[in-house]
Structure 1
Amino acid sequence: MRDNPLRDRTVVVTGAARGLGAALAREVAGRGAVPVLLGHEKPLLEEVASGLPGRALAIGADVTDPSALRAAADEVRERLGPSSAVIANAGVAEGGPFAASDPGTWRRVIDVNLTGSAQTARAFLPDLVATAGYYLQITSLAAIGHAPMMSAYCASKAGAEAFAHALRAEVAHRGVAVGIAYLNWTDTDMIRDADRHAVLRELRAHMPPPARRVTPVDTVAARIVRGLERRRTAVYTPAWLRLAQPVRGALPAVVPRVSRRELSRLEAEGTFLPTGLLGAGGRADGAAAARHP
Protein backbone atom coordinates (compact mmCIF):
# COMPACT_ATOMS: atom_id res chain seq x y z
CA MET A 1 0.00 0.00 0.00
CA ARG A 2 2.95 2.34 0.55
CA ASP A 3 3.85 1.95 -3.13
CA ASN A 4 0.31 2.35 -4.44
CA PRO A 5 -2.00 3.77 -1.76
CA LEU A 6 -4.99 4.09 -4.08
CA ARG A 7 -5.05 0.54 -5.45
CA ASP A 8 -8.56 -0.93 -5.20
CA ARG A 9 -9.77 2.05 -3.14
CA THR A 10 -13.09 3.64 -4.06
CA VAL A 11 -12.65 7.33 -4.91
CA VAL A 12 -15.69 9.56 -5.55
CA VAL A 13 -15.22 12.51 -7.92
CA THR A 14 -18.05 15.02 -8.29
CA GLY A 15 -18.48 17.06 -11.47
CA ALA A 16 -16.76 14.29 -13.44
CA ALA A 17 -18.50 14.57 -16.82
CA ARG A 18 -15.79 16.79 -18.32
CA GLY A 19 -12.86 19.07 -17.55
CA LEU A 20 -10.99 18.67 -14.30
CA GLY A 21 -13.45 16.12 -12.87
CA ALA A 22 -12.98 13.78 -15.84
CA ALA A 23 -9.20 14.27 -15.66
CA LEU A 24 -9.25 13.41 -11.94
CA ALA A 25 -11.23 10.25 -12.67
CA ARG A 26 -8.67 9.24 -15.29
CA GLU A 27 -5.80 9.96 -12.93
CA VAL A 28 -7.12 7.94 -9.98
CA ALA A 29 -8.10 5.07 -12.29
CA GLY A 30 -4.57 5.05 -13.70
CA ARG A 31 -3.24 4.65 -10.16
CA GLY A 32 -5.38 1.60 -9.50
CA ALA A 33 -8.37 3.16 -7.75
CA VAL A 34 -12.01 2.46 -8.56
CA PRO A 35 -13.44 5.87 -9.50
CA VAL A 36 -17.06 6.85 -8.95
CA LEU A 37 -18.04 9.59 -11.40
CA LEU A 38 -20.87 11.70 -10.05
CA GLY A 39 -22.65 14.56 -11.78
CA HIS A 40 -25.62 15.78 -13.81
CA GLU A 41 -25.01 14.28 -17.20
CA LYS A 42 -25.13 10.51 -16.80
CA PRO A 43 -24.56 9.71 -20.53
CA LEU A 44 -21.34 11.77 -20.47
CA LEU A 45 -20.30 10.25 -17.14
CA GLU A 46 -20.79 6.77 -18.58
CA GLU A 47 -18.79 7.72 -21.67
CA VAL A 48 -15.88 8.91 -19.51
CA ALA A 49 -16.16 5.81 -17.30
CA SER A 50 -16.14 3.46 -20.29
CA GLY A 51 -12.73 4.77 -21.33
CA LEU A 52 -11.10 4.16 -17.97
CA PRO A 53 -8.94 1.14 -17.13
CA GLY A 54 -10.49 -1.29 -14.66
CA ARG A 55 -13.78 -0.80 -12.88
CA ALA A 56 -15.64 2.51 -12.69
CA LEU A 57 -19.13 3.57 -11.70
CA ALA A 58 -21.12 6.50 -13.13
CA ILE A 59 -24.00 7.94 -11.08
CA GLY A 60 -26.25 10.81 -12.08
CA ALA A 61 -26.88 13.18 -9.17
CA ASP A 62 -27.12 16.91 -8.46
CA VAL A 63 -24.79 17.89 -5.61
CA THR A 64 -27.39 20.39 -4.39
CA ASP A 65 -29.96 17.57 -3.92
CA PRO A 66 -29.40 15.87 -0.53
CA SER A 67 -31.69 12.94 -1.31
CA ALA A 68 -29.91 12.25 -4.60
CA LEU A 69 -26.55 12.32 -2.84
CA ARG A 70 -27.76 9.96 -0.12
CA ALA A 71 -29.00 7.58 -2.81
CA ALA A 72 -25.64 7.85 -4.60
CA ALA A 73 -23.73 7.07 -1.39
CA ASP A 74 -25.98 4.05 -0.77
CA GLU A 75 -25.41 2.79 -4.32
CA VAL A 76 -21.65 3.14 -4.03
CA ARG A 77 -21.66 1.33 -0.68
CA GLU A 78 -23.78 -1.53 -2.02
CA ARG A 79 -21.81 -2.02 -5.25
CA LEU A 80 -18.25 -1.13 -4.26
CA GLY A 81 -18.12 -0.88 -0.49
CA PRO A 82 -17.46 2.30 1.52
CA SER A 83 -15.60 5.12 -0.18
CA SER A 84 -12.03 5.81 0.88
CA ALA A 85 -11.77 9.28 -0.66
CA VAL A 86 -14.11 11.97 -1.93
CA ILE A 87 -13.03 14.83 -4.18
CA ALA A 88 -15.58 17.66 -4.04
CA ASN A 89 -14.83 19.08 -7.48
CA ALA A 90 -18.27 20.05 -8.86
CA GLY A 91 -18.41 23.76 -9.49
CA VAL A 92 -19.84 26.51 -11.68
CA ALA A 93 -18.91 30.14 -12.25
CA GLU A 94 -20.28 33.36 -13.65
CA GLY A 95 -18.67 36.72 -14.23
CA GLY A 96 -19.75 40.34 -14.41
CA PRO A 97 -20.77 43.14 -12.05
CA PHE A 98 -22.69 42.06 -8.96
CA ALA A 99 -25.32 44.79 -9.36
CA ALA A 100 -26.27 43.52 -12.82
CA SER A 101 -26.09 39.82 -12.03
CA ASP A 102 -29.16 37.62 -12.09
CA PRO A 103 -30.03 36.79 -8.44
CA GLY A 104 -30.93 33.20 -9.31
CA THR A 105 -27.67 32.59 -11.19
CA TRP A 106 -25.64 34.23 -8.43
CA ARG A 107 -27.30 32.00 -5.83
CA ARG A 108 -26.79 28.90 -7.98
CA VAL A 109 -23.02 29.43 -7.90
CA ILE A 110 -23.16 29.49 -4.10
CA ASP A 111 -25.48 26.49 -3.99
CA VAL A 112 -23.27 24.30 -6.19
CA ASN A 113 -19.81 25.35 -5.04
CA LEU A 114 -20.41 25.76 -1.31
CA THR A 115 -23.65 24.07 -0.30
CA GLY A 116 -23.12 21.26 -2.81
CA SER A 117 -19.68 20.54 -1.38
CA ALA A 118 -21.07 20.42 2.14
CA GLN A 119 -23.93 18.15 1.05
CA THR A 120 -21.41 15.86 -0.64
CA ALA A 121 -19.40 15.63 2.57
CA ARG A 122 -22.55 14.95 4.59
CA ALA A 123 -23.62 12.08 2.33
CA PHE A 124 -20.25 10.32 2.24
CA LEU A 125 -18.87 11.14 5.69
CA PRO A 126 -20.08 7.86 7.29
CA ASP A 127 -18.04 5.96 4.71
CA LEU A 128 -14.97 8.12 5.27
CA VAL A 129 -15.23 7.49 8.99
CA ALA A 130 -15.50 3.75 8.33
CA THR A 131 -12.39 3.76 6.13
CA ALA A 132 -10.40 6.47 7.96
CA GLY A 133 -10.63 8.19 4.59
CA TYR A 134 -9.85 11.53 3.00
CA TYR A 135 -12.06 14.39 1.83
CA LEU A 136 -10.52 16.83 -0.64
CA GLN A 137 -12.19 20.17 -1.27
CA ILE A 138 -11.39 21.83 -4.59
CA THR A 139 -11.06 25.60 -4.24
CA SER A 140 -8.97 28.16 -6.09
CA LEU A 141 -6.92 31.32 -5.89
CA ALA A 142 -10.37 32.97 -5.58
CA ALA A 143 -10.50 31.69 -1.98
CA ILE A 144 -7.32 33.64 -1.18
CA GLY A 145 -7.57 36.76 -3.34
CA HIS A 146 -11.06 38.02 -4.14
CA ALA A 147 -11.31 39.43 -7.64
CA PRO A 148 -13.93 41.88 -8.92
CA MET A 149 -16.47 40.58 -11.44
CA MET A 150 -16.44 37.18 -9.72
CA SER A 151 -18.33 37.90 -6.50
CA ALA A 152 -20.36 34.68 -6.33
CA TYR A 153 -17.41 32.49 -7.30
CA CYS A 154 -15.07 34.14 -4.80
CA ALA A 155 -17.66 33.97 -2.02
CA SER A 156 -18.38 30.31 -2.74
CA LYS A 157 -14.72 29.26 -2.86
CA ALA A 158 -13.84 31.22 0.29
CA GLY A 159 -16.81 29.59 1.99
CA ALA A 160 -15.77 26.13 0.77
CA GLU A 161 -12.28 26.73 2.14
CA ALA A 162 -13.69 27.76 5.53
CA PHE A 163 -16.03 24.75 5.54
CA ALA A 164 -13.11 22.39 4.90
CA HIS A 165 -11.04 23.92 7.71
CA ALA A 166 -13.96 23.53 10.13
CA LEU A 167 -14.70 19.97 8.99
CA ARG A 168 -11.04 18.98 9.42
CA ALA A 169 -11.14 20.03 13.05
CA GLU A 170 -14.37 18.10 13.64
CA VAL A 171 -13.35 14.76 12.14
CA ALA A 172 -9.62 14.49 12.80
CA HIS A 173 -10.23 12.44 15.95
CA ARG A 174 -12.24 9.97 13.83
CA GLY A 175 -9.23 9.33 11.59
CA VAL A 176 -10.62 11.30 8.64
CA ALA A 177 -8.25 13.70 6.88
CA VAL A 178 -9.49 16.82 5.08
CA GLY A 179 -7.50 18.63 2.42
CA ILE A 180 -7.96 21.76 0.34
CA ALA A 181 -6.74 22.05 -3.25
CA TYR A 182 -6.01 25.61 -4.38
CA LEU A 183 -6.01 25.98 -8.17
CA ASN A 184 -5.18 28.79 -10.53
CA TRP A 185 -6.39 29.06 -14.15
CA THR A 186 -6.88 25.54 -15.52
CA ASP A 187 -7.49 24.71 -19.18
CA THR A 188 -11.15 23.70 -19.01
CA ASP A 189 -14.16 24.80 -21.04
CA MET A 190 -15.13 27.10 -18.15
CA ILE A 191 -11.92 29.10 -18.52
CA ARG A 192 -12.02 29.04 -22.31
CA ASP A 193 -15.56 30.40 -22.16
CA ALA A 194 -14.49 33.08 -19.69
CA ASP A 195 -11.90 34.29 -22.20
CA ARG A 196 -14.69 35.03 -24.69
CA HIS A 197 -15.96 37.78 -22.37
CA ALA A 198 -13.93 40.98 -22.43
CA VAL A 199 -14.54 41.80 -18.78
CA LEU A 200 -12.92 38.52 -17.63
CA ARG A 201 -10.32 38.25 -20.40
CA GLU A 202 -8.97 41.72 -19.66
CA LEU A 203 -8.86 41.18 -15.92
CA ARG A 204 -6.80 38.01 -16.37
CA ALA A 205 -4.51 39.74 -18.85
CA HIS A 206 -3.61 42.36 -16.24
CA MET A 207 -2.63 39.84 -13.58
CA PRO A 208 1.11 39.22 -12.95
CA PRO A 209 2.56 36.82 -15.57
CA PRO A 210 2.61 33.67 -13.40
CA ALA A 211 -0.94 34.32 -12.19
CA ARG A 212 -2.41 34.72 -15.68
CA ARG A 213 -0.92 31.49 -17.04
CA VAL A 214 -3.30 28.62 -17.85
CA THR A 215 -2.19 25.12 -16.78
CA PRO A 216 -3.14 21.95 -18.72
CA VAL A 217 -5.92 20.06 -16.98
CA ASP A 218 -4.03 16.75 -16.87
CA THR A 219 -1.10 18.45 -15.14
CA VAL A 220 -3.45 19.87 -12.51
CA ALA A 221 -5.17 16.52 -12.00
CA ALA A 222 -1.87 14.68 -11.54
CA ARG A 223 -0.70 17.13 -8.89
CA ILE A 224 -4.03 16.95 -7.04
CA VAL A 225 -4.00 13.15 -6.98
CA ARG A 226 -0.42 13.10 -5.69
CA GLY A 227 -1.71 15.23 -2.82
CA LEU A 228 -4.61 12.84 -2.35
CA GLU A 229 -2.25 9.87 -2.11
CA ARG A 230 -0.35 11.67 0.65
CA ARG A 231 -3.49 12.95 2.39
CA ARG A 232 -2.16 16.50 2.18
CA THR A 233 -3.75 19.28 4.21
CA ALA A 234 -3.20 21.63 1.27
CA VAL A 235 -2.41 21.10 -2.41
CA TYR A 236 -1.32 24.02 -4.59
CA THR A 237 -1.29 23.89 -8.36
CA PRO A 238 0.80 25.45 -9.68
CA ALA A 239 3.19 25.17 -6.73
CA TRP A 240 3.92 28.92 -6.57
CA LEU A 241 0.33 29.50 -5.48
CA ARG A 242 1.32 28.71 -1.89
CA LEU A 243 3.18 32.04 -1.90
CA ALA A 244 -0.17 33.83 -1.96
CA GLN A 245 -1.03 32.55 1.51
CA PRO A 246 1.40 34.73 3.52
CA VAL A 247 0.25 37.91 1.73
CA ARG A 248 -3.48 37.22 1.54
CA GLY A 249 -4.20 39.80 4.23
CA ALA A 250 -2.82 42.56 2.01
CA LEU A 251 -4.76 41.60 -1.12
CA PRO A 252 -8.08 43.35 -0.29
CA ALA A 253 -6.26 46.67 -0.32
CA VAL A 254 -4.18 45.94 -3.42
CA VAL A 255 -6.80 44.46 -5.76
CA PRO A 256 -9.04 47.59 -6.00
CA ARG A 257 -6.04 49.76 -6.89
CA VAL A 258 -5.10 47.44 -9.73
CA SER A 259 -8.64 46.96 -11.06
CA ARG A 260 -10.05 50.50 -10.80
CA ARG A 261 -8.67 51.83 -14.08
CA GLU A 262 -9.47 48.74 -16.14
CA LEU A 263 -13.01 48.45 -14.83
CA SER A 264 -13.68 52.11 -15.61
CA ARG A 265 -12.51 51.55 -19.18
CA LEU A 266 -14.55 48.37 -19.64
CA GLU A 267 -17.65 50.04 -18.27
CA ALA A 268 -17.19 52.94 -20.71
CA GLU A 269 -16.77 50.47 -23.59
CA GLY A 270 -20.04 48.75 -22.75
CA THR A 271 -18.43 45.38 -21.94
CA PHE A 272 -19.30 45.56 -18.25
CA LEU A 273 -21.93 42.81 -18.56
CA PRO A 274 -22.88 39.57 -16.76
CA THR A 275 -21.67 36.40 -18.46
CA GLY A 276 -24.20 33.89 -17.12
CA LEU A 277 -22.95 30.44 -16.08
CA LEU A 278 -19.73 29.70 -17.93
CA GLY A 279 -18.83 26.74 -20.10
CA ALA A 280 -20.65 23.58 -21.13
CA GLY A 281 -20.77 22.44 -17.52
CA GLY A 282 -22.37 25.71 -16.47
CA ARG A 283 -24.96 25.44 -19.21
CA ALA A 284 -25.73 21.84 -18.24
CA ASP A 285 -26.10 22.85 -14.60
CA GLY A 286 -28.39 25.74 -15.52
CA ALA A 287 -30.57 23.43 -17.57
CA ALA A 288 -30.74 20.87 -14.76
CA ALA A 289 -31.60 23.54 -12.20
CA ALA A 290 -34.36 24.83 -14.48
CA ARG A 291 -35.84 21.33 -14.74
CA HIS A 292 -35.78 20.85 -10.97
CA PRO A 293 -36.16 24.30 -9.39
Structure 2
Amino acid sequence: MTATPPLSAQVAVVTGAARGVGAALARNLARRGAKVALVGLEPEELKAVAAQCGPDATAWEADVTDVEALTGLAERIKAHYGRIDTVVANAGIALGGPLLDSDHRAFSRVIEVNLLGSVATARAFLPALAESRGYLLQIASLAALTPAPLMSAYCASKSGVEAFAHAIRAEVAHQGVKVGVGYLSWTDTDMVRGADEDAVLKQMRSRLPWPANKTYPLEPAVDRLAAGIARRSAHVYAQAWLRGMQPVRWVLPSLIAAVGSRDVARLAPRLAATAASRLRPVGAGGAADTAARSDRSDRD
Protein backbone atom coordinates (compact mmCIF):
# COMPACT_ATOMS: atom_id res chain seq x y z
CA MET A 1 0.00 0.00 0.00
CA THR A 2 1.31 3.43 -0.98
CA ALA A 3 1.93 5.68 2.02
CA THR A 4 -0.04 8.92 2.17
CA PRO A 5 2.31 11.84 1.46
CA PRO A 6 2.48 14.52 4.16
CA LEU A 7 0.53 17.69 3.49
CA SER A 8 3.83 19.52 3.10
CA ALA A 9 4.37 17.54 -0.11
CA GLN A 10 0.87 18.03 -1.50
CA VAL A 11 -0.98 20.36 -3.86
CA ALA A 12 -4.51 20.99 -2.58
CA VAL A 13 -7.39 22.56 -4.52
CA VAL A 14 -10.26 24.14 -2.56
CA THR A 15 -13.43 25.33 -4.29
CA GLY A 16 -15.54 28.11 -2.80
CA ALA A 17 -12.33 29.44 -1.27
CA ALA A 18 -13.02 33.18 -1.23
CA ARG A 19 -14.78 33.19 2.11
CA GLY A 20 -15.88 31.18 5.12
CA VAL A 21 -14.88 27.57 5.50
CA GLY A 22 -13.15 27.44 2.12
CA ALA A 23 -10.90 30.41 2.84
CA ALA A 24 -10.12 29.24 6.38
CA LEU A 25 -9.39 25.72 5.17
CA ALA A 26 -7.03 27.00 2.46
CA ARG A 27 -5.12 29.00 5.09
CA ASN A 28 -5.00 26.01 7.42
CA LEU A 29 -3.67 23.66 4.73
CA ALA A 30 -1.07 26.25 3.75
CA ARG A 31 0.09 26.51 7.37
CA ARG A 32 0.54 22.74 7.29
CA GLY A 33 2.81 23.11 4.29
CA ALA A 34 0.49 22.38 1.36
CA LYS A 35 0.53 24.38 -1.85
CA VAL A 36 -3.04 25.55 -2.27
CA ALA A 37 -5.03 26.51 -5.36
CA LEU A 38 -8.11 28.56 -4.49
CA VAL A 39 -11.11 28.35 -6.82
CA GLY A 40 -14.20 30.57 -6.75
CA LEU A 41 -16.08 33.44 -8.35
CA GLU A 42 -14.79 36.45 -6.41
CA PRO A 43 -11.36 37.16 -7.89
CA GLU A 44 -10.32 39.96 -5.56
CA GLU A 45 -11.30 38.02 -2.44
CA LEU A 46 -9.57 34.91 -3.79
CA LYS A 47 -6.37 36.84 -4.41
CA ALA A 48 -6.49 38.29 -0.90
CA VAL A 49 -6.88 34.84 0.66
CA ALA A 50 -4.16 33.42 -1.59
CA ALA A 51 -1.81 36.15 -0.40
CA GLN A 52 -2.43 34.94 3.16
CA CYS A 53 -1.52 31.39 2.12
CA GLY A 54 2.05 32.10 1.06
CA PRO A 55 4.00 32.44 -2.19
CA ASP A 56 2.99 29.02 -3.55
CA ALA A 57 -0.75 29.74 -3.35
CA THR A 58 -2.71 30.68 -6.46
CA ALA A 59 -6.21 32.02 -7.14
CA TRP A 60 -8.37 30.77 -10.02
CA GLU A 61 -11.75 32.16 -11.07
CA ALA A 62 -14.27 29.49 -12.13
CA ASP A 63 -17.94 28.55 -11.93
CA VAL A 64 -18.24 25.03 -10.53
CA THR A 65 -21.39 24.40 -12.57
CA ASP A 66 -19.47 24.85 -15.87
CA VAL A 67 -17.88 21.42 -16.31
CA GLU A 68 -16.02 22.34 -19.51
CA ALA A 69 -14.45 25.42 -17.94
CA LEU A 70 -13.70 23.50 -14.75
CA THR A 71 -12.02 20.69 -16.68
CA GLY A 72 -9.82 23.21 -18.45
CA LEU A 73 -9.03 24.81 -15.10
CA ALA A 74 -8.01 21.45 -13.62
CA GLU A 75 -5.58 20.98 -16.49
CA ARG A 76 -4.10 24.46 -15.96
CA ILE A 77 -3.70 23.95 -12.21
CA LYS A 78 -1.99 20.61 -12.83
CA ALA A 79 0.30 22.20 -15.42
CA HIS A 80 1.16 24.98 -12.96
CA TYR A 81 2.05 22.71 -10.05
CA GLY A 82 2.89 19.48 -11.85
CA ARG A 83 0.38 17.47 -9.82
CA ILE A 84 -2.82 17.68 -7.79
CA ASP A 85 -3.03 15.58 -4.62
CA THR A 86 -6.16 16.76 -2.80
CA VAL A 87 -9.38 18.39 -3.95
CA VAL A 88 -11.97 19.80 -1.53
CA ALA A 89 -15.40 20.21 -3.15
CA ASN A 90 -16.65 22.95 -0.88
CA ALA A 91 -18.60 25.45 -3.02
CA GLY A 92 -22.28 25.92 -2.26
CA ILE A 93 -25.25 28.21 -1.69
CA ALA A 94 -28.39 28.00 0.45
CA LEU A 95 -32.07 28.90 0.33
CA GLY A 96 -34.40 29.02 3.31
CA GLY A 97 -38.16 29.06 3.71
CA PRO A 98 -41.16 26.91 2.76
CA LEU A 99 -40.98 25.14 -0.60
CA LEU A 100 -44.18 26.73 -1.93
CA ASP A 101 -42.92 30.22 -1.11
CA SER A 102 -39.65 29.69 -2.98
CA ASP A 103 -38.91 30.50 -6.59
CA HIS A 104 -38.39 27.29 -8.56
CA ARG A 105 -35.38 28.71 -10.36
CA ALA A 106 -33.78 29.67 -7.06
CA PHE A 107 -34.49 26.21 -5.63
CA SER A 108 -32.98 24.62 -8.75
CA ARG A 109 -29.94 26.87 -8.50
CA VAL A 110 -29.14 25.44 -5.05
CA ILE A 111 -29.22 21.92 -6.50
CA GLU A 112 -27.18 23.04 -9.50
CA VAL A 113 -24.40 24.64 -7.48
CA ASN A 114 -24.25 22.29 -4.50
CA LEU A 115 -24.89 18.92 -6.12
CA LEU A 116 -24.16 19.27 -9.83
CA GLY A 117 -21.26 21.60 -9.05
CA SER A 118 -19.77 18.84 -6.91
CA VAL A 119 -20.29 16.34 -9.71
CA ALA A 120 -18.56 18.70 -12.14
CA THR A 121 -15.69 19.16 -9.67
CA ALA A 122 -15.21 15.41 -9.45
CA ARG A 123 -15.36 14.99 -13.24
CA ALA A 124 -12.79 17.73 -13.73
CA PHE A 125 -10.25 16.74 -11.08
CA LEU A 126 -10.48 12.95 -10.72
CA PRO A 127 -8.15 12.29 -13.68
CA ALA A 128 -5.40 14.27 -11.92
CA LEU A 129 -6.18 12.57 -8.60
CA ALA A 130 -5.92 9.19 -10.30
CA GLU A 131 -2.41 10.09 -11.47
CA SER A 132 -1.34 11.14 -7.97
CA ARG A 133 -3.38 8.48 -6.13
CA GLY A 134 -4.93 11.39 -4.31
CA TYR A 135 -7.93 12.34 -2.20
CA LEU A 136 -11.29 14.03 -2.84
CA LEU A 137 -13.10 15.50 0.16
CA GLN A 138 -16.74 16.31 -0.48
CA ILE A 139 -18.12 18.84 1.99
CA ALA A 140 -21.61 17.81 3.11
CA SER A 141 -23.40 19.03 6.23
CA LEU A 142 -25.53 18.16 9.22
CA ALA A 143 -28.27 18.61 6.60
CA ALA A 144 -27.15 15.33 5.02
CA LEU A 145 -27.69 13.52 8.32
CA THR A 146 -31.06 14.94 9.27
CA PRO A 147 -33.86 16.76 7.45
CA ALA A 148 -34.62 20.35 8.38
CA PRO A 149 -37.95 22.07 7.69
CA LEU A 150 -37.62 25.26 5.64
CA MET A 151 -34.34 24.03 4.13
CA SER A 152 -35.56 21.46 1.62
CA ALA A 153 -33.31 22.61 -1.24
CA TYR A 154 -30.22 22.63 0.93
CA CYS A 155 -31.02 19.27 2.56
CA ALA A 156 -31.69 17.67 -0.82
CA SER A 157 -28.41 18.98 -2.21
CA LYS A 158 -26.31 17.94 0.77
CA SER A 159 -27.93 14.50 1.03
CA GLY A 160 -27.17 14.21 -2.67
CA VAL A 161 -23.49 15.08 -2.37
CA GLU A 162 -23.10 12.64 0.51
CA ALA A 163 -24.62 9.81 -1.53
CA PHE A 164 -22.62 10.84 -4.59
CA ALA A 165 -19.34 10.71 -2.69
CA HIS A 166 -20.15 7.32 -1.18
CA ALA A 167 -21.04 5.97 -4.63
CA ILE A 168 -17.91 7.13 -6.44
CA ARG A 169 -15.64 5.97 -3.60
CA ALA A 170 -15.95 2.40 -4.87
CA GLU A 171 -15.54 3.49 -8.49
CA VAL A 172 -12.14 5.12 -8.03
CA ALA A 173 -10.65 3.02 -5.23
CA HIS A 174 -8.87 0.70 -7.67
CA GLN A 175 -7.10 3.78 -9.05
CA GLY A 176 -5.73 4.56 -5.63
CA VAL A 177 -8.04 7.54 -5.10
CA LYS A 178 -9.68 7.95 -1.71
CA VAL A 179 -12.96 9.82 -1.23
CA GLY A 180 -14.17 11.38 2.00
CA VAL A 181 -17.26 13.21 3.22
CA GLY A 182 -16.98 16.19 5.53
CA TYR A 183 -19.82 17.06 7.90
CA LEU A 184 -20.35 20.46 9.52
CA SER A 185 -23.01 21.87 11.78
CA TRP A 186 -23.74 25.60 11.98
CA THR A 187 -20.33 27.27 11.91
CA ASP A 188 -19.54 30.94 12.41
CA THR A 189 -19.16 32.43 8.92
CA ASP A 190 -20.59 35.34 6.98
CA MET A 191 -23.22 33.03 5.52
CA VAL A 192 -24.62 31.84 8.84
CA ARG A 193 -24.54 35.35 10.28
CA GLY A 194 -26.35 36.53 7.16
CA ALA A 195 -28.95 33.78 7.46
CA ASP A 196 -29.57 34.78 11.08
CA GLU A 197 -30.70 38.19 9.84
CA ASP A 198 -33.95 36.42 8.90
CA ALA A 199 -35.67 36.58 12.29
CA VAL A 200 -38.13 33.77 11.54
CA LEU A 201 -35.48 31.29 10.40
CA LYS A 202 -33.26 32.30 13.30
CA GLN A 203 -36.07 31.55 15.73
CA MET A 204 -36.71 28.21 14.07
CA ARG A 205 -33.03 27.30 14.37
CA SER A 206 -32.94 28.33 18.03
CA ARG A 207 -35.61 25.71 18.76
CA LEU A 208 -33.49 22.85 17.45
CA PRO A 209 -32.35 20.45 20.18
CA TRP A 210 -28.90 20.94 21.69
CA PRO A 211 -26.23 20.71 20.31
CA ALA A 212 -27.69 21.37 16.85
CA ASN A 213 -28.97 24.82 17.88
CA LYS A 214 -25.51 26.28 18.50
CA THR A 215 -23.20 28.20 16.18
CA TYR A 216 -19.69 26.81 16.43
CA PRO A 217 -16.38 28.68 16.02
CA LEU A 218 -14.78 28.45 12.61
CA GLU A 219 -11.15 27.66 13.30
CA PRO A 220 -11.61 24.49 15.42
CA ALA A 221 -14.02 23.15 12.80
CA VAL A 222 -11.57 23.82 9.98
CA ASP A 223 -8.71 22.33 11.99
CA ARG A 224 -10.65 19.07 12.26
CA LEU A 225 -11.31 19.11 8.50
CA ALA A 226 -7.62 19.67 7.76
CA ALA A 227 -6.64 16.83 10.10
CA GLY A 228 -9.08 14.56 8.27
CA ILE A 229 -7.57 15.59 4.95
CA ALA A 230 -4.11 14.70 6.26
CA ARG A 231 -5.41 11.23 7.19
CA ARG A 232 -7.50 10.96 4.00
CA SER A 233 -10.43 9.88 6.12
CA ALA A 234 -13.64 8.46 4.70
CA HIS A 235 -15.64 10.60 7.15
CA VAL A 236 -14.55 13.89 8.70
CA TYR A 237 -16.58 15.61 11.42
CA ALA A 238 -15.96 19.32 11.95
CA GLN A 239 -17.78 19.09 15.28
CA ALA A 240 -17.07 15.91 17.22
CA TRP A 241 -20.70 15.30 18.22
CA LEU A 242 -21.73 14.86 14.56
CA ARG A 243 -20.15 11.40 14.57
CA GLY A 244 -22.80 10.34 17.07
CA MET A 245 -25.55 11.27 14.62
CA GLN A 246 -24.66 8.45 12.26
CA PRO A 247 -26.09 5.54 14.31
CA VAL A 248 -29.38 7.37 15.00
CA ARG A 249 -29.99 9.08 11.68
CA TRP A 250 -32.63 6.52 10.74
CA VAL A 251 -35.01 7.83 13.41
CA LEU A 252 -34.52 11.53 12.72
CA PRO A 253 -36.96 12.00 9.79
CA SER A 254 -39.91 10.81 11.87
CA LEU A 255 -38.80 12.83 14.87
CA ILE A 256 -38.30 16.01 12.85
CA ALA A 257 -41.65 15.53 11.10
CA ALA A 258 -43.43 15.32 14.45
CA VAL A 259 -41.68 18.21 16.17
CA GLY A 260 -40.97 20.43 13.20
CA SER A 261 -44.54 20.41 11.91
CA ARG A 262 -45.76 22.13 15.06
CA ASP A 263 -43.09 24.85 14.81
CA VAL A 264 -43.79 25.46 11.14
CA ALA A 265 -47.53 25.73 11.79
CA ARG A 266 -46.93 28.22 14.58
CA LEU A 267 -44.61 30.34 12.43
CA ALA A 268 -46.67 30.09 9.23
CA PRO A 269 -48.14 33.64 9.37
CA ARG A 270 -44.72 35.21 9.90
CA LEU A 271 -43.18 33.05 7.18
CA ALA A 272 -45.85 34.16 4.74
CA ALA A 273 -45.38 37.80 5.65
CA THR A 274 -41.61 37.67 5.04
CA ALA A 275 -41.60 35.34 2.00
CA ALA A 276 -40.40 38.06 -0.38
CA SER A 277 -37.10 38.34 1.48
CA ARG A 278 -36.22 34.71 0.73
CA LEU A 279 -36.67 34.52 -3.05
CA ARG A 280 -33.02 34.07 -3.98
CA PRO A 281 -30.24 31.79 -2.72
CA VAL A 282 -27.71 33.21 -0.29
CA GLY A 283 -23.99 32.94 -0.87
CA ALA A 284 -21.08 32.83 1.51
CA GLY A 285 -21.09 36.52 2.24
CA GLY A 286 -24.80 36.61 3.02
CA ALA A 287 -25.54 38.30 -0.31
CA ALA A 288 -28.15 37.06 -2.75
CA ASP A 289 -26.87 34.73 -5.45
CA THR A 290 -27.81 37.10 -8.24
CA ALA A 291 -25.50 35.61 -10.84
CA ALA A 292 -23.44 32.45 -10.74
CA ARG A 293 -21.90 32.84 -7.32
CA SER A 294 -20.55 29.49 -6.08
CA ASP A 295 -18.66 30.34 -2.93
CA ARG A 296 -19.20 28.67 0.38
CA SER A 297 -22.70 28.97 1.86
CA ASP A 298 -23.11 25.90 4.03
CA ARG A 299 -24.38 25.82 7.57
CA ASP A 300 -20.87 26.97 8.44
Q: Which TM class, normalised by the smaller chain length?
A: over 0.9
Aligned to 1:176: 177
Q: 1:277: how far off?
A: 1.7
Which deviations, in whole Å up to 9, do the C-alpha atoms of 1:264-290 show, x marking residues without a partner? 22112345626232245464743236x
Q: Tell me if structure 2 keeps the 8 A contact 1:4–1:31.
A: no
Question: Paired residues, what number?
Answer: 289
Aligned to 2:119: 118
Structure 1: runs of 5+ lacking an equivalent: none
Pair 112,279 (structure 1): closer, same or farther in 2 beyond 3 Å:
closer
2:282 to 274, 278, 284: 278
> Does residue 13 in structure 1 map to residue 17 in structure 2?
no
Higher mean displacement: 14-23 or 208-217: 208-217
Name the counterpart of 1:263. 264
Aligned equivalents of 2:284, 2:30: Cα separation in 1: 24
Q: Deviations over 1:69-122 (max 9, x none)?
A: 012111111111121000000010010000110111101100111000010011
Aligned residue runs from structure 1 range 126-141, under 5 A = 126-141=127-142
Q: What is the SS of the residue equivalent to 1:118?
A: helix
In structure 2, how many angstroms separate the alpha carbons of the residues matched to 1:117 and 1:99? Answer: 26
Q: Deviations over 1:32-62 (max 9, x none)?
A: 0000000111111011111222410100000
Check the 8 A contact 2:23/2:49 in 1, yes or no.
yes
For residue 44 of structure 1, what is the aligned residue in structure 2? 45
Q: Paired residue for 2:238? A: 237
Say which structure, 1 or 2, has more relative contact order (CA 8 Å, 6+ apart): 2
Q: TM-score, normalised by structure 1?
A: 0.94
What is the alpha-carbon distance in structure 1 between the residues aligned to residue 9 and residue 255 of structure 2?
Answer: 47
* Identity, % of aligned positions: 51
Q: Secondary structure at the match of 2:292?
A: helix
Partner of 2:236, secondary structure, is strand
Aligned residue number for residue 296 of structure 2: none
- 1:135·1:178 contact (CA, 8 Å) conserved in 2? yes
**1:26 Cα offset (Å):** 0.1
Which amino acid letter does the alignment assign opposite residue 32 of structure 2?
Answer: R
The answer to whether the aligner puts 1:287 opposite 2:291 as a matched pair is: yes
- In 2: Cα distance, 1:93 partner to 1:154 partner: 9
Moved over 3 A (4+): 269-272, 279-285
Q: 1:19 to 1:246 in 2, by over 3 A?
A: same
Check the 8 A contact 1:191/1:279 in 2, yes or no: no
**Equivalent residue letter for 1:145:** T
Is 2:211 the counterpart of 1:207?
no
The answer to whether the 8 Å contact 1:92/1:281 transfers is: no
CA RMSD of aligned residues (A): 1.8
Instruction: State the distance in 1 between where 2:284 and 2:175 align.
Output: 38
Q: What's the offset of the Cα at 1:218?
A: 1.5
Judged with a 3 Å threshold, the aligned counterparts in structure 2 of structure 1 residues 4 and 172 are, in CA distance, closer, same or farther, namely closer
